[in-house]
Structure 1
Amino acid sequence: MRAWALNMDFARLWLGLLLPLVAALDFSYHHQEALEAFLKRVAQNYSSITHLHSIGKSVRGRNLWVLVVGRFPKEHRVGIPDFKYVANMHGDETVGRELLLHLIDYLVTNHGKDPEITNLINSTRIHIMPSMNPDGFEAVKNPDCFYSNGRENFNQYDLNRNFPDAFEYNNVSRQPETVAVMKWLKTETFVLSANLHGGALVASYPFDNGVPATGALLSRSVTPDDDVFQYLANIYASRNPNMKKGDQCENKLNFPNGVTNGYSWYPLHGGMQDYNYIWAQCFEITLELSCCKYPPEEELPSFWNYNKASLIEYMKQVHLGMKGQVFDIDGNPLPNVIVEVQDRKHICPYRTNKFGEYYLLLLPGSYTINITVPGHEPYLTKVVIPEKSQNFSALKKDFQLSFRGQLDSTQVSDPSCPLIPLYKNFPSHSAATKPSLFLFLMTLLNIFSK
Structure 2
Amino acid sequence: MEGTPPGLRVLRLHSFPKVLLPTCTFLGNWGNNMDFARLCIGLLLLLPLAAALDFRYHHQDAMEAYLKSVAHNYSSVTHLHSIGESVKGRNLWVLVVGRFPREHRVGIPEFKYMANMHGDETVGRELMLHLIDYLVTNDGKDPEITQLINSTRIHILPSMNPDGFEAVKKPDCFYSVGRENSNYYDLNRNFPDAFEYNNVSTQPETKAVMEWLKTETFVLSANLHGGAVVASYPFDNGVPATGTLHHRSLTPDDDVFQYLAHTYASRNPNMKTGNQCKNIMNSRNGIINGYSWYPLKGGMQDYNYIWAQCFEITLELSCCKYPREEKLLFFWNDNKHSLIEYMKQVHLGVKGQVFDQNKNPLPHVIVEIQDRKHICPYRTNKFGEYYLLLLPGSYTINVTVPGHDPYLTKVIIPENSQKFSALKKDIVLPFRGQWNPVLISNPSCPTDPLYSHLSSSSPATKSSLLLFVLCLFHIFFK
Q: Please indicate, yes or no, whether the TM-score normalized by the shorter chain is above 0.5.
A: yes
Q: Aligned partner of 2:175: which letter? A: Y
Identical amino acids, percent of aligned pairs: 80
Any residues of structure 2 matched to 1:127-146 within 5 Å, and which? 127-146=155-174
**Which segments of structure 1 move beyond 6 Å, counting only runs of 4 or more?**
18-22, 407-413
Structure 1 residues not aligned, in runs of 5+? 1-8, 430-435, 444-450
The answer for the alignment partner of 2:282 in structure 1 is 254
Q: 1:127 to 1:296 in 2, by over 3 A?
A: same
Q: 1:218 to 1:10 in 2, by over 3 A?
A: closer
Aligned-partner Cα distance in 2 for 1:428–1:225: 17
Q: Aligned partner of 2:159: which letter? A: S
Aligned-partner Cα distance in 2 for 1:407–1:392: 34
Aligned-partner Cα distance in 2 for 1:205–1:321: 19
Q: Aligned partner of 2:355: which letter? A: F
1:216 deviation in Å? 0.4
Q: 1:313 to 1:23 in 2, by over 3 A?
A: same
Structure 2 residues not aligned, in runs of 5+? 1-15, 23-44, 458-470
Q: 1:410 to 1:105 in 2, by over 3 A?
A: farther
Aligned-partner Cα distance in 1 for 2:76–2:318: 34
The answer for the alignment partner of 2:193 in structure 1 is 165
The answer for the alignment partner of 1:5 in structure 2 is none
Aligned-partner Cα distance in 2 for 1:406–1:36: 49
The answer for the alignment partner of 1:4 in structure 2 is none
* SS state at 1:388 partner: coil
Q: 1:35 to 1:252 in 2, by over 3 A?
A: farther
Residue deviations 1:149-175 (CA, integer Å, cap 9, x gap):
100000000000000000000010000
Residue 363 of structure 1 pairs with residue 391 of structure 2: yes
The answer for the alignment partner of 1:447 in structure 2 is none
* SS state at 2:452 partner: coil
The answer for the alignment partner of 1:56 in structure 2 is 84
The answer for the alignment partner of 2:244 in structure 1 is 216
Aligned-partner Cα distance in 2 for 1:35–1:62: 12
Any residues of structure 2 matched to 1:162-201 within 5 Å, and which? 162-201=190-229
**Comparing both chains, which one has the higher relative contact order based on Cα–Cα distances under 8 Å and sequence gaps of 6 or more?**
1
Aligned-partner Cα distance in 2 for 1:413–1:314: 33
Q: 1:409 to 1:46 in 2, by over 3 A?
A: farther
The total of aligned residue pairs comes to 428
Residue among 338, 350, 353 paired with 1:310: 338
1:414 deviation in Å? 5.1
The answer for the alignment partner of 2:19 in structure 1 is 12
CA contact (8 A) 2:76 2:99 kept: yes
RMSD over aligned CA atoms reads 2.5
Residue deviations 1:297-320 (CA, integer Å, cap 9, x gap):
100000000000000000000000
Aligned-partner Cα distance in 1 for 2:299–2:441: 18
The answer for the alignment partner of 1:28 in structure 2 is 56
Q: 1:171 to 1:14 in 2, by over 3 A?
A: farther
Aligned-partner Cα distance in 2 for 1:53–1:28: 24
Any residues of structure 2 matched to 1:340-355 within 5 Å, and which? 340-355=368-383
The answer for the alignment partner of 1:398 in structure 2 is 426
1:254 deviation in Å? 2.6
- TM-score, with length taken from structure 2: 0.85
Residue among 402, 405, 408 paired with 1:374: 402
Any residues of structure 2 matched to 1:45-444 within 5 Å, and which? 45-406=73-434, 415-427=443-455
Instruction: Mark the structure with the bigger radius of gyration.
Output: 2
Aligned-partner Cα distance in 2 for 1:309–1:43: 24
Residue deviations 1:343-383 (CA, integer Å, cap 9, x gap):
00000000000000000000000001101000001001110
Residue deviations 1:185-226 (CA, integer Å, cap 9, x gap):
000000000000000000000000000000000000000000
- TM-score, with length taken from structure 1: 0.91
Aligned-partner Cα distance in 1 for 2:439–2:349: 23
Residue deviations 1:10-45 (CA, integer Å, cap 9, x gap):
931999xx9789710000000000000000000000
Residue deviations 1:409-435 (CA, integer Å, cap 9, x gap):
999995541011101212499xxxxxx
Residue deviations 1:88-127 (CA, integer Å, cap 9, x gap):
0000000000000000000000000000000000100000
Q: Aligned partner of 2:19: which letter? A: R
